[in-house]
Each structure stands twice: as C-alpha cells, then as structure tokens.
Structure 1
Amino acid sequence: MWVTVAIVVVLIALIWRYTGRPKGLPPGPTCYPIIGNVGLFKPSEAIQAHRKLRKKYGDIYTIMTFHKPMIAVHGYDNIRELLVKHGDLFSDRPLTIMNGVFNKGKGLIWSSGPLWKEQRTFALTTMRKFGFGKRCLQNQIMEEVDCLMEELEKYGNKPFDIQNTLNISVSNVICSMLFGNRFDYEDARFKHLIVLLNKLFATSSPSSPAMPSYWNKKWHEKILHLQMSSSKSA
C-alpha cells in the first residue's frame, strides 16, 4: 500500500512540475495540473475575464493553457515597450495548430522572422509593379467606392448586414489591381468565392495562441478534411 501511495505522490509531483507554471514568469491565477487554466472563463466572456485578472494581478500576468504559458500584457506603455522598443524580440508569431497544418509556417501571413522579412520585401516589390502606393491605385479605390455607395443606396433606410458587401468591395480593389477586372456585387461565382474565404478564416480560428499548440496534428488534419468534404457535398 505504501508503495502505491509513494508512486502516486511521485506521479503527482512530476505532473505538477512539468505541467505547472514555470518559475520566473509573471503571476497569474492558480494553475492546475495538466489543464493549467483551461476552463477559467468562457471565450464569450474573455474581455470581462481579462479585466478582472488585470485588476487582481496587474498589467502583466500569465495564463497556462495546458503546459503552454501565455503572457497577457496590458497598458500602452508596456505594449509600446514590447512591440516598438523590443520589436525584434517579441514580433514573431506564436506556433499554432493552423500555422503548422496549412502552410508549415511559410507564406506571407503566417511566416515569421527572416522568412517573413524576405516574403514581405518580395510582396511589396511585386505589388508596387501593379500600382501599389501610386496614384493609379487611388483611382481604382475611388471607382470602387462609387460602386459601393451605389450598392448601399439600394437598401435605402432598411437595416442589413454590411459585412459581405464590404468584403466584396475590398476584394474588388485587389482583383482590379492584380487582374485588371472587378466583379459585380451580384456575381454568383464571386459571392461564392467570398463565402469560401469567410469559411476559411472561420476554420482558422483555432490559430489563437490561447489554443493548445501541441494538439495531435494528424487528428486536426482529419477534422479539416471532414469539414472541407462536407462543404463540397453541400
């Protein structure tokens, strides 16, 4: 019996050591073994919860998502200190599920460090050839603004969801710059592409740094495959 108790105590100590809050980090709410602070608050109540945590622990505190620490920083001076004065140290993107599943940490959006700088330089150089930063692009934007205003006038004083309309408007500017062509606001194929983009960003929501980045990648790929298959069948 004592051997069993000793083994249990050792296991609990090991679990606490390797899944608890590491030493040297800012204070934070009580960290439980394995789960950390998961379930501390609902995603829909995140803003209110962080306000309470800020009052209790100050402008800088630590939240553990399983064994991964996430440090929350509040206050203009603190954020400026991190992102402006020490931007080279804190500007990298966190390692997330979607980052690894979709593009292996590459590409303009999800890349980080030297690769991001290289991709950004290439993108800006290429976009300038298409009119980015020049007056011709301003003309394209103003033309699309006129089309947007005409589209909004169709609704009169009736309330409506403006999100899809704005998405089409912004996408039209990009299409005009890259392809030399824009699409009508009622174009069925173009509207379908916008819907697919919205679904893509919705599916990418687990990229939050608060999500456990060590989830089984193969299982997540299977889930994404099922989601895409169901979208195609629908």
Structure 2
Amino acid sequence: MPLDTGQDQDRLAALQILEGASPAERLQALRDAVPGRIVFTTSFGIEDQALTHIIFSEKLKIDVVTLDTGRLFPSTYQVWAETEDKYARRIRAFYPNQDDVAAMVADAGINGFYHSKEARLSCCHVRKVEPLGRALAGAEAWVTGLRADQSGNRAAIDFASWDDERQLIKIAPLFDWTRERVADFCTEHAVPINELHAKGFLSIGCAPCTRALQPGEPERAGRWWWETEDAKECGLHVGADGKLVRRKAA
C-alpha cells in the first residue's frame, strides 16, 4: 500500500536522511516533522529503557505506553515501577480485553499456547495485537526499540519506514546500535534495567514464552523456544481487515 499522503512521503524522506544522527536527534526530528500523536511502545527491555530515558530526559512530547499482557515477569513490573519513580512520569498501560482472555483460556487452557502454533498466535493476538491497536489508535508515528543486529530478519530494518498495516510512520532510533552500545548508554545514565538481562534473558517478553539463552544463541532465540525457527511468527501484524497476518518472527 502506498504512503497515505504526499505529506507523509515528505516527512518520511526527511527522516530517512537522519541515519547518521544520534537517537536523541532522531527522536527530536520525528517530533518536529510529525504534528500529530507519536507513540512509543515499551516492553521495558534494555533498548526500550534507553529510549524511555531519552524521551523523558529531553521532555519530548511522545506518549510512552506499554502492553501489560497479564503474563509478564515480576522483574518487568519492578523495572516499570523503578522507571516511573526515576523520571517522575507515568507510563500508560493497555490491557487485553477481559472477555477475550476468558474465552481464550476456556477454549485452550491457561497455557494452551504450548500445544499448538495456532493457540500461541491466538494468545499473542488477544494479549498483544489487539491492545497494540488501541495504543496506536490516532497516532501518526510509532517509535520502537528494534535493532538491526538482533536477528537475521531484522538486519534490513531502516531508521524510518512506512507501516502499511497501521498507516503511520514507524521509526527505530536504535536501529544501527549494538547491544553493547545500548548497555553502555544505560550504565552511563543510570537507567533502570531488568535484572533478567544479567541472567541470560536478552529479549524479555511474557514469562511463559521467554527463557534464558544458551551460549552462542542469537538474542531472539529465547522467545517461543518450543517452536521451530522456520515456524516462529511474532503475531504483531494485523491487516486492514483487522485479521492476523502471518509473518515469520523477527
């Protein structure tokens, strides 16, 4: 699908030339270029914590929100609280629809996502995709913590791109940073970090769906580990008709 308007094309082109800028400069340029609502969705991982620090410290008018799936690690809630305390800001949470969760659990069981890929995709849809749609409703731009070196499928990501599914600009201010560079930044600025990172959990999602990495594994290997690599799908892609679009996980 093409860009929505000529203005969107101009904004995207202006942002794409900022690939050599710092994350703070990129975020400020996004704020300057986009007049409407900008949303940053954080899962409280190390990349998201670095971006939260920049947004709050620079007092950028970017909404910082999170998706509380109801199955997060206790340490994720802890770093959430520590972040709000440090920056004296609230992070708005979007929750799954209670009736949808009840129906899903009644059908598949509380941990039914282990038994089939379809059940796992259904859980991701109820707990993440649908709340994400509400979090991004009315937004003109979406900020993410994606990095190109997180996995092979993310190697081709750009700093700024057009999200066809949601019809908005999507940016990844840390796309060209290494994990080590992000970690150094967080240490330098005393950014609260999830204690699980030091225990081998480099990518942290829902507790039942995340494990620590084994030596030599890529960062995303600990997510949905019971599924084969060629069958993994992230579940965060929705088509214009509101239905789940099947894509391989990144």
When normalised by structure 1's length, the TM-score is: 0.24
Higher percent of residues as helix: 1
Higher percent of residues as strand: 2
When Rg is computed on C-alpha atoms for both structures, the one with the higher figure is: 1
Whose RCO is larger (CA < 8 A, sep 6+)? Answer: 2
